[in-house]
Structure 1
Amino acid sequence: MKRPNPAQWLWYAVGGRLPANLAPWVLHDVTAKTWALRHAARGCVVLAPIAAGCLLVPGPLGLKLAMILLVAIVGVYFSLSYVDESCELRAAKHGYAHGIARATRESRNADRDAEERARYAANFRTPNP
């Protein structure tokens, strides 16, 4: 599978569209086991210039560091709040049907999820006497 070069990845991280030959990599990116961590890393790329701008604000270093921490906490929180939707949009932007990323992740975990549901039913869904 062909991967994007660093410049292409930065463009992709800020929401840009990659060439069509990288579409399989995009689907892998939004469905890999580490898909949420990958999304958080892309979010940090967007937040980095904002955090760097906090260093230019006049004031004590402690205040600047607190501002950077606040940018990181709020930015990552909101980024991860919409992780599913954002990944679906990225896949759709590269030519895949909406919902394919979630379906791919769910199919990969189908056996484990069925096993967990069966274990839950056995432990907590006993018939009433």
Structure 2
Amino acid sequence: MKTPTFKQRIAYDVGRELPADLHEWVVDDLCGHRAMERYLVRFVGPVIPFFILILLYPGPMTLKLGIIVMMIVPLIIFTISLAWVWRRYRLVQHGLDPDLADRQKFTQHDRELYNLRYRPSA
């Protein structure tokens, strides 16, 4: 699978479309293994410095940490709840099937492990 260059990767992270030869990488990035973790880092990571700036304000540390927690918890909740919408939007932007966001990639080995763990035979 071909991967984007550093310049293409930055453009992709900002919201631009990648060329057609990188669509396989886009599908893996949006719907593949650990896609949710990458998504959270992309959306929550850039705002962390702004939360750190709150620590520079005068006042008790408990108040500062409380403010940070009150802002970061809703940010994470809304980010997770809108992940499916964002994934479908990015797939459509690249001209790919938006139903790929609904499919989970389970291998036969994963299915067997699931059945052994959660559906034991009687």
Both proteins in one fold, TM over 0.5: yes
Give 4+ residue runs of structure 1 displaced > 6 Å after superposition: none
Match of 2:34 in 1: 34
Q: CA deviation at 1:40?
A: 0.8
Equivalent residue, structure 2, for 1:43: 43
**d(CA) in 1 for partners of 2:4, 2:85:** 23
Cross-structure match for 2:77: 77
Instruction: State which of 106, 109, 114 in structure 1 corresponds to 2:106.
Output: 109
* TM-score normalised by structure 2 residue count: 0.68
Secondary structure in 1 matching 2:84 = helix
After TM superposition, the score normalised by the length of structure 1 is: 0.65
CA shift for structure 1 position 37: 0.5
Compared CA separation, residues 48 and 83, structure 1 to 2 (3 A): same
Contact 1:50–1:71 (CA under 8 A) maintained in structure 2 = no
CA distance in 2, matches of 1:17, 1:67: 33
RMSD (CA atoms): 3.1
Work out whether 1:60 is the aligned partner of 2:59.
yes
Shift of 1:29: 0.8
Match of 1:18 in 2: 17
Give the Å deviation of 1:92. Answer: 1.6
Ranges in structure 1 where 5+ consecutive residues have no aligned partner: 124-129
Distance 1:36 1:122, change over 3 A: same
Q: Which residue of 2 aligns with 1:94?
A: 94
Closer, same or farther: CA 23–39 of 1 in aligned 2, 3 Å? same
Tell me which amino acid in the other structure corresponds to 1:95.
Answer: G
Aligned positions, number: 117
Higher mean alpha-carbon deviation, 90-99 vs 62-71, is at 62-71
Cα deviation digits, residues 64-110 of structure 1 (max 9, x gap): 3322222222211111122222212222211111111332xx2x315
Change (3 A) 1:51 1:10: farther
